[in-house]
Chains A and B, each alone.
Chain A
Amino acid sequence: MGVVVVISIGGWELRLRSRGLNTDYDDGGPLWANLREQVYQADNKATVFIGSSRICYDLDPEVFAQETGRQAIQLGLAGHSPLPFLRDLANDERFHGKLVVDVMEILYWSSLPLHTAESQADVDYYHHRTPAQWASFQLGRPLESSFVFLNQKFLSLNVQLNGLRLPDREGVHGEPPFPVEFWSTCYDRQVKMMPRFLRDSAQQHVVTGLWSFFGSMWKSPPAEAIIAETKQLVAKIRAHGGDVVFVRCPSSNHFLELEQKLVPREKYWDPLIKAAGCKGYFFSDYPGLSKFTPVEWSHLSPAGAIGFTHELIKVLPSSFTQSPS
């Protein structure tokens, strides 16, 4: 029995490493909750970030910490709306920190369960987490940081079987075939593209193709209700002693064109910032933020994230970046 296990798992692990894959962390409720519980630090010791995938790729928490002396608590979630996170923090009277909200308009204004269910599930997990679940997360961490094959999102048995891509009936869509190299989650929840993805234009084309495919299904969402709710939520956070700013990270090419067409700034972003009464940083307004080109129209490379983080620190209010000392 042991021989079968060692040979099979060992062989699989070696094969994955020979492909250049990194170890990473399962970006589920446990990892999110691990950071969520850290938002109660003194408000000059941490800055909290929520949003969708762009802030996860474009912000380097390590660089942020080195430069500001504050922890960057990354609570964004790829492919999902951050509104459940904003609601959670606004309804938490103990939270009085500084909050940066990344806005990817299509997701921010989406009320589809597809775009909100997982963010809400993370919030629920945090609030109902049991001591056993907390312990499991702590015990799993050394394993996840040692074995490449422990990558539930891309390398689990079920995902491998789903990758067989048998022809489906019309109207049925399986999981989008993102390349595994596109997505590696760090312990601080920064998401990084792996070196092979950055070298391989074919893989980048797969992802831009997926953006085009998704884009063909997107529609302009109604703006008013979400803007009104955001205004209320921001007011709640300020009433607790916290503060909020909004950030629009870079996008380019067809993706940006699509966004300009479906969710134009003047109809979504500008009214949101005005209603919330917050500062908003739209990348194209700032030369420092607009000099970065997303690898696949939507996200920055790890090197780009370092530069973007430096530039973001320059534009954020000093209360969001000042050192504890």
Chain B
Amino acid sequence: MVFNSYTFIAFFIVVLLLFNGPFGWKTRKTILLLASYVFYAAWNPPFILLLWLSTVVDFFVGRALYKQTNQAKKRALLVVSLIGNMGMLCFFKYGGFLLENFVTVVNAFGVHYHPAKPNIILPAGISFYTFTTLCYTIDMYKKESAPVKSLLDFSLFVTFFPHLVAGPIVRPPQLVPQFETPRRASRQQLMEGLFLLSLGLFMKVVLADSMLAASSDAVFNSAVAVPGLDAWMGMLAFTGQIFCDFAGYSTCAIGAALCLGFVLPLNFRWPYGASGFADFWRRWHITLSSWLRDYLYIPLGGNRKGGVRTYVNLMLTMLLGGLWHGANWTFVAWGGLHGGYLWVERFFKVRKERRVAAVIAGSGAGTVMPKPVVSEGNFAYALFTFLLINITWIFFRASTFGKAGSMLSSMVGLVHGAAPVLATVAMVKIGVIVLALVVIHWLLRKTTVLAAVYRMPWWLTGVLWGAMIVLLLLSQASSNSFIYFQF
């Protein structure tokens, strides 16, 4: 079920009441686990079998990996787990994509092979829970944390409904210890959780679905080329929509967990206020970025194997990160562009560090440090970063390279006689929301939502919270799925 639905409201009230009932800790955890299965089965009940399979296999393989001392057997166990997890992901998510590319390649060599298009339904959240279980297996292999003691705790770690289908992607040490000791949400946690839940729903329902989605869809789905103004506004609409949709989901997830007394890791920290692309990835989908860093970039060698390898590792990580988002070459291009930005940024950063080192070496200790080329608080650089991120979203949103090319052509004025699609009021909404997002992200870039709320007078918090709920009720957008569910 989705957070923005009557079903979730009813479900969550029942879960809150039962979880806070007069039961033992094990019973309360069992209630939470069963509730999480209900939450997941409410989409497509048969797919719960996949979740169970993944949970049971990884629990026992993880434990065996931790205890196994024979390296060969250990590797074999790791391979079993990786094949299980990645095989499932590849089949459901990339099966059609792999077949399509295989057909393209063999056709290019003159082989006439045209199989029927596979009709594979993607299980909700498979990319997220696969990454959650994968990091456990790898941690067990590397003995980076102790195995989870009970199957109940491990099942709850994998299945805990707030993070199950669209993250934040949690690591065992972040969540498992919270299941080991009895807990109930304090009054403060409950209020903070409800506030975050309201904020997340406001971002998703009011801003993403109600105000921005239709404009973004109208431009990106237009059968004919659109004028430059529409292309720019459509791009900005998607920039706002993707943030409000995904960060909205994460905020709801963190809020729902907090209402139950559990703390999930932060997933967004004002990404449109980022100065630079490394900074952006420290602020956007933080749990995925850190997962890719720790389980892909660093094992590839990170920056420890020389300059060229660092650039290669960086690009590989971003390309695979792009592919994780969807089985389409446009996502790979999106990752590749971000990899390119990180390359350029790193090149200038390394050059600057060398110059600094040279100055220090030449002048001796105590020399005044040269001013950085770009400081982290540089608003102009933040705007430049924002501009490039915007343009890169085109590859993320466009279904084909042709559509992305058409959008870019429109934006630079190479299209003539195009048909406008956006009404003036739609463009005003986009302008106001995106401007507000950029300003808020810039001003709050060094703090968190809750810290900012605590700095406000109580009456202002009450009015803003009330206004969010009023707008939420008035928006009445249908229970649309979150964009990241498809990943």
* Chain A interfacial positions (CB closer than 8 Å to B): 1-5, 8-9, 12, 26, 28-30, 130-133, 135-136, 139-140, 143, 149-152, 155-158, 160-162, 164-172, 174
Instruction: Verify A174–B423 contact, CB threshold 8 A.
Output: yes
Instruction: Verify A149–B474 contact, CB threshold 8 A.
Output: yes
Which of B388-407 touch A at CB < 8 Å?
none
- Point out the residues of chain B lying under 8 angstroms from A28, CB to CB: 478
Instruction: Verify A140–B419 contact, CB threshold 8 A.
Output: no
Shortest CB distance A75–B (Å):
19
A102→B7 CA distance, assembly (Å): 35
Q: Which of B145-153, B272-280, B369-377, B461-469 contacts A (4 or more CB under 8 A)?
A: B461-469
A269→B9 CA distance, assembly (Å): 49
A169→B463 CA distance, assembly (Å): 37
Shortest CB distance A15–B (Å):
13
A166→B429 CA distance, assembly (Å): 12
Instruction: Verify B474–A1 contact, CB threshold 8 A.
Output: no
Instruction: Verify A4–B466 contact, CB threshold 8 A.
Output: yes
Report if B5 contacts A (CB, 8 A).
Answer: yes
Q: Which of B38-46, B111-119, B237-245, B305-313 contacts A (4 or more CB under 8 A)?
A: B38-46
Which of B412-441 touch A at CB < 8 Å?
419-426, 428-429
A304→B278 CA distance, assembly (Å): 67
A149→B423 CA distance, assembly (Å): 25
* Chain A, Cβ-Cβ closest to B427: A166
Instruction: Verify A171–B420 contact, CB threshold 8 A.
Output: yes
A92→B470 CA distance, assembly (Å): 43
- Point out the residues of chain B lying under 8 angstroms from A2, CB to CB: 466
7 interchain pairs, CB-CB under 8 A: A4-B469, A28-B478, A133-B5, A136-B7, A157-B471, A158-B477, A162-B423
* Chain A, Cβ-Cβ closest to B424: A166
Instruction: Verify B2–A172 contact, CB threshold 8 A.
Output: no
Which of B350-378 touch A at CB < 8 Å?
none
- Point out the residues of chain A lying under 8 angstroms from B2, CB to CB: 132
Give which listed residue, B44, B214, B473, contacts A9 with CB less than 8 A.
Answer: B473
Instruction: Verify B424–A169 contact, CB threshold 8 A.
Output: yes
- Point out the residues of chain A lying under 8 angstroms from B425, CB to CB: 161-162, 164-166, 174
Instruction: Verify B45–A131 contact, CB threshold 8 A.
Output: yes
Report if B210 contacts A (CB, 8 A).
Answer: yes
Report if B174 contacts A (CB, 8 A).
Answer: no
Instruction: Verify A136–B5 contact, CB threshold 8 A.
Output: yes
Instruction: Verify A12–B474 contact, CB threshold 8 A.
Output: yes
Shortest CB distance B428–A (Å):
7
- Point out the residues of chain A lying under 8 angstroms from B8, CB to CB: 132
Instruction: Verify A157–B478 contact, CB threshold 8 A.
Output: no
Instruction: Verify B477–A130 contact, CB threshold 8 A.
Output: no
- Point out the residues of chain B lying under 8 angstroms from A8, CB to CB: 466, 470
- Point out the residues of chain B lying under 8 angstroms from A157, CB to CB: 206, 210, 471, 474-476
Give which listed residue, A3, A152, A174, contacts B476 with CB less than 8 A.
Answer: A152
Shortest CB distance B95–A (Å):
19
Report if B60 contacts A (CB, 8 A).
Answer: no
* Chain A, Cβ-Cβ closest to B42: A132
* Chain B, Cβ-Cβ closest to A3: B466
Report if B20 contacts A (CB, 8 A).
Answer: no
Shortest CB distance B195–A (Å):
9
A174→B321 CA distance, assembly (Å): 39
Query: 6 closest pairs, A vs B, by CB?
Result: A4-B466, A132-B1, A132-B42, A139-B6, A166-B424, A157-B474
Supply 7 further A-B pairs (C-beta < 8 A) apart from A12-B474, A133-B7. Answer: A4-B463, A132-B2, A132-B42, A136-B5, A158-B214, A166-B424, A169-B424
Instruction: Verify B462–A1 contact, CB threshold 8 A.
Output: yes
Give which listed residue, B5, B428, B473, B477, contacts A132 with CB less than 8 A.
Answer: B5
Shortest CB distance A108–B (Å):
23
* Chain B, Cβ-Cβ closest to A151: B476
Report if B479 contacts A (CB, 8 A).
Answer: yes
Shortest CB distance B5–A (Å):
4
Instruction: Verify B462–A4 contact, CB threshold 8 A.
Output: yes
Which of B18-74 touch A at CB < 8 Å?
41-45
* Chain A, Cβ-Cβ closest to B478: A28
Shortest CB distance A117–B (Å):
10
- Point out the residues of chain A lying under 8 angstroms from B466, CB to CB: 1-5, 8
Give which listed residue, A26, A135, A164, A169, contacts B42 with CB less than 8 A.
Answer: A135
Instruction: Verify A152–B463 contact, CB threshold 8 A.
Output: no
Shortest CB distance B319–A (Å):
32
- Point out the residues of chain B lying under 8 angstroms from A139, CB to CB: 6-7, 9-10
* Chain A, Cβ-Cβ closest to B462: A1
- Point out the residues of chain A lying under 8 angstroms from B7, CB to CB: 132-133, 135-136, 139
Instruction: Verify A158–B424 contact, CB threshold 8 A.
Output: no
A12→B476 CA distance, assembly (Å): 14
Report if B408 contacts A (CB, 8 A).
Answer: no
Instruction: Verify B470–A4 contact, CB threshold 8 A.
Output: yes
* Chain B, Cβ-Cβ closest to A29: B478
A5→B2 CA distance, assembly (Å): 23
Instruction: Verify A140–B6 contact, CB threshold 8 A.
Output: yes
A140→B44 CA distance, assembly (Å): 21
Shortest CB distance A35–B (Å):
17
Report if B211 contacts A (CB, 8 A).
Answer: yes
- Point out the residues of chain B lying under 8 angstroms from A132, CB to CB: 1-2, 5, 7-8, 42-43
Instruction: Verify A167–B475 contact, CB threshold 8 A.
Output: no
Shortest CB distance B7–A (Å):
4
A25→B2 CA distance, assembly (Å): 21
A76→B196 CA distance, assembly (Å): 41
A30→B479 CA distance, assembly (Å): 10
Instruction: Verify A171–B419 contact, CB threshold 8 A.
Output: yes
* Chain B, Cβ-Cβ closest to A8: B470
A152→B7 CA distance, assembly (Å): 18
- Point out the residues of chain A lying under 8 angstroms from B9, CB to CB: 139
Give which listed residue, B465, B471, B476, contacts A150 with CB less than 8 A.
Answer: B476
Also in contact, A131 and B42, with CB within 8 A (given A2-B466, A157-B210):
yes
* Chain B, Cβ-Cβ closest to A170: B420
Shortest CB distance B373–A (Å):
42
- Point out the residues of chain B lying under 8 angstroms from A170, CB to CB: 420
Shortest CB distance B206–A (Å):
7
Instruction: Bits for B444-471, please: 1 = Cβ < 8 Å to A, else 0.
Output: 0000000000000000011101110111
- Point out the residues of chain B lying under 8 angstroms from A3, CB to CB: 462, 466
Also in contact, A130 and B42, with CB within 8 A (given A140-B6, A158-B475, A162-B423):
yes
* Chain B, Cβ-Cβ closest to A166: B424
A12→B42 CA distance, assembly (Å): 34
- Point out the residues of chain A lying under 8 angstroms from B426, CB to CB: 162
A294→B473 CA distance, assembly (Å): 36
Instruction: Verify A136–B476 contact, CB threshold 8 A.
Output: no
* Chain A, Cβ-Cβ closest to B205: A157
- Point out the residues of chain A lying under 8 angstroms from B463, CB to CB: 1, 4
Give which listed residue, A4, A158, A166, contacts B211 with CB less than 8 A.
Answer: A158
A155→B43 CA distance, assembly (Å): 30
A172→B420 CA distance, assembly (Å): 6
A133→B463 CA distance, assembly (Å): 32
A168→B478 CA distance, assembly (Å): 27
Instruction: Verify B470–A168 contact, CB threshold 8 A.
Output: no
- Point out the residues of chain A lying under 8 angstroms from B41, CB to CB: 131
Shortest CB distance B133–A (Å):
24
- Point out the residues of chain B lying under 8 angstroms from A172, CB to CB: 420-424
- Point out the residues of chain B lying under 8 angstroms from A169, CB to CB: 420, 424
A4→B466 CA distance, assembly (Å): 5
Shortest CB distance A207–B (Å):
21
